[in-house]
A and B are shown apart, each in its own frame.
Chain A
Amino acid sequence: MTAGGWLEILLFLAVLTALTPVMGGYLAGVFRGEVTQLAGVERVAYRGLGVDPARGQDWKGYARSVLVFSVAGSVLLYVIVRAQGATWDLTFNTTASFVTNTNWQFYAGETTLSHFAQMAGLAVQNFLSAGTGIAVLVAFVRGLASRSGKEIGVFYVDLVRTILYVLLPLSVVIGLMLVSQGVIQSLSAGPVASQEAIKMLGTNGGGFFNVNSAHPYENPTWLSNFVEMLAILIIPASLTAMYGRMVDNRRQGWMVFGAMMALFVVAVVLIYLSEAGPTPAMHAAGLGGDNLEGKEMRFGIGSSALFAAVTTAASCGAVNAAMESFSGLGGAIPMAQMMTGEVIWGGVGSGLYSMLLFVILGVFIAGLMVGRTPEFLGKKIEAREIKLTIIGTIAVPMMVLVATALAIGSKWGAPSIYDSGPQGFSETLYAYTSQGNNNGSAFAGYTGYLQPNGTNRGAFGISFADVLGGLTMLGGRFIPMLAVLAVAGSLAGKRVAPVGLGTLRTDTPTFAVVLIAVVLIVALLTFVPALLLGPVVQGFSDGLY
């Protein structure tokens, strides 16, 4: 650990906090329709799509558009990837991976796919899956805020505006900034910077190169690394401020921001502490010093730890160091962050809407404790909303545990495992946690695809891992998303009760503490036994396996 490392962490948190209200204000403007510089382009787009921006959709209409659009995107992506000669199972996994904003990579970017497939297939879904997540969040917030009617917006309008006013312009700026640092952008060597920018901004995470942002051509300098980390969190963080503005109570936004930040800071500090010092394997080899195995010198353990925390908190999944080589506890913390359901910032849109489900759950639990009808933003939370909220918060942890158990308990999971002993279990748990929560980072020894010449066995997909992983990603994306839209629909028409003395306020530090407790108890506690079996065993033992 160095003073420079701590300073970088502080600087990062300060810049992120400072940008949040600025960017949040802009996002609120975009989704209230106040930003209109490109109205002409929008009009052309809506006419071409046959969408009437004035005709709002109810939650079912909105959900239908989201689903049909995702299916259409999947079909095209499947065709593009399959045409590269990838096996059907690997193609299914990769398609599910990119349409769900996960970007889990069983394929190896530079060896499996052509530049065209990366550009026109994967990078397009980087934009679209991110845009879809943000659109759904905006629809949800409208449902929370609306005073009458059942309408929560128009999906294609939200999508077009997200891409036109947010994702595309920011990608251009960040992409050029990255090229200036040495990220490549050429027809022969690869369109890396353009893909890198949206990979970060959209919390996607699928690298152009197999080693992702550890590759000097994806992430060449300290500054490029800082920009990439900021690009990951800027939108998820700013969405909290946007939410506050859209419900006319900025403190609501800061409450959520505060809860996320508190959990995040703990994670960063713990990972940094865990990586300072040798691992058991280094001990055995007589080596002292920091755990630099699987890390790049230009980042050191400071920027590697911060990046690991950023990427697993947001459901990005890009990595600038080998997650599998982190110390036992250093690897447990990223896993734990994903296990919260990706609500510590989380994916663009999906992070905040999942967190707002926890807010509703918090309101319900706190309301029961003080013996009051639970209310959120003046709207009564009733049986229907709670049922949907439970589905939205519990479905993913359950899928992750079942999938991990299937992979560990059956013989079909074994071929995917690379390391022996508890690390093999950690690989499996990490794989399904990451896929279920749409993160995409990996203990990369875990494999669903054998590379040509990688072994003597030739190239083929491991169907079990590809299919189970693909289904976990699809469930992890669309079950909470539909639950969220249904809650939005159910809250949209509700009468707003005036704030009184008896109102349980949700914009206070006290409630932020309640929210943190709910996240830890409901999501994380579910996984404690599983965490103990793998990374924690390793973290507390000096044994070799």
Chain B
Amino acid sequence: MRELKTAAIAVIAFTVVLGLAYPLAMTGVSQVVFPGRADGEPRLIARAYPDDLFQPRPSVTGYAADGTFFNNQGPNQRALADQLKGYVNDYLERERPFTPGLRAADIPSDAATTSASGVDPDISDDNARIQANRVASRRGLDRARVLDLVDAHARRGIVNVNDLNAAVEAAR
């Protein structure tokens, strides 16, 4: 009986301290020290872009940030193979007019596979360099200029699509 009482008090007290006071205090401090960032920066979440801009990786969730799930097709699934073929064809259809001779084997694997979160904001810089041909042509920009933007935004082999597209849109 005494044991029960102690346990009950402990659970309630810990819930107040660890379940309410701790997260609320952390929220207060975060909002003061990192305003904006603590609310979630939009640049961290991929979204769909019109096809005169750089495209993020394929997503099975339609780039939903608040209803995320994995693709969950195993490495030997025929369903996955079919899905990937679809992404490969989409990519070739979109990019080949601007990158003649582009073959499936040339596609960087990030461009035709789904990310884990469905909202991966980054693409490989190889992927970006292929897409640069289309973006430059569709927007009437100098190809070298777009490639410079890719290089300027590349970090450790990857480029944030949101940042890159913002830069492209700002370019004249």
Contact = CB atoms under 8 A, between A and B. Distances in A.
Interface string A155-189: 01001000100001001100110011010111111
Interface string A284-305: 1111111111111110100000
B22 A168 contact: yes
B118 A211 contact: yes
Contacts of B24: 191
B162 to A, nearest CB: 11
Given A4-B156, A128-B14, A168-B18, A216 B74 contact: no
Contacts of A328: 75-76
Contacts of A51: 6
A322 B109 contact: no
B133 interface: no
A250 interface: no
Contacts of B88: 285-287
B26 A172 contact: yes
B172 interface: no
A175 B26 contact: yes
Contacts of B116: 211, 214, 294-296, 319-322, 325
Interface stretch (B29-37, B136-144, B145-153, B163-171): B29-37
Nearest to A220: B44
Given A281-B77, A285-B104, A297-B158, A180 B37 contact: yes
Contact of A185 (B6, B15, B27, B121): B27
A321 B75 CA distance: 14
Interface residues of A, number: 101
**Secondary structure dominating the interface of B:** helix
B48 interface: no
B76 A281 contact: yes
Contact of B3 (A65, A128, A278): A65
Contact of A111 (B3, B67, B121): B67
A330 B120 CA distance: 22
Interface stretch (A14-22, A116-124, A239-247): A116-124
Contacts of B69: 108, 210-211, 444
Contacts of A420: 77-79
20 contacts: A49-B9, A50-B5, A121-B19, A176-B30, A186-B31, A211-B69, A214-B116, A279-B75, A287-B84, A293-B75, A297-B115, A297-B122, A297-B123, A319-B116, A325-B71, A418-B72, A420-B79, A423-B75, A426-B74, A538-B75
Interface of A: 4, 45, 48-51, 64-65, 68-69, 71-73, 76, 108, 110-111, 119-121, 123-124, 127-128, 156, 159, 163, 168, 171-172, 175-176, 179-180, 182, 184-189, 191, 193-195, 209-211, 214-217, 220, 222, 278-282, 284-298, 300, 319-322, 324-328, 330-331, 418-423, 426, 443-445, 538, 541, 543-545
Given A49-B6, A194-B23, 16 more contacts: A65-B6, A76-B12, A120-B19, A172-B22, A186-B39, A214-B115, A214-B117, A285-B88, A290-B109, A292-B109, A292-B113, A293-B80, A295-B115, A297-B122, A325-B73, A421-B76
